[in-house]
Amino acid sequence: MEKKMNKKEIASLLKEKINYNDDDCLTIINILEDNFLFLKKNKDKVVKDFIEILNIDELEAARIFDISSNLITSIIKDKIKHPFRNQE
């Protein structure tokens, strides 16, 4: 069976990239999870949610969106390229 990453593992990877605390990283993951992040209109909504919930400016919210969406995209690509990795 394939080992799946949970939210805390993804948040930990995100934490390394953006230097936010665990709770904020989990909040970011939850916001992304609630939106389909590959659509332009959803990017605008996610950035707006980051600004409101994390109390940050638009530039920082866009930076976090870019970093987190790249992280999630790389995880997805890795799963596609190596579907049987991490099987126990």
Query: Which amino acid is it at 32?
Result: L
The more confident residue out of 7 and 55 is: 55
Q: List strand residue ranges (DSSP E) for the chain, in order.
A: none
Q: How confident is the model at residue 5 (pLDDT cuts 50, 70, 90)?
A: low
pLDDT above 70 covers what percent of the chain? 86
Which residues make beta-bridge pairs with 87?
Answer: 2
Q: Tokens at residue 30, please?
A: 């939850």
Alpha carbon distance 53, 24 (integer Å): 9
* Residue 7 phi, psi dihedral angles, 5° rounding: -60, -40
Check residue 86 and give its pLDDT: 61
Sorted by where each begins, the domain ranges of the chain are 7-81
**Greater pLDDT, 14 or 88:** 14
The span from the CA of 62 to the CA of 81, in Å, is 28
More confident residue, 53 or 85: 53
Tell me the pTM: 0.78
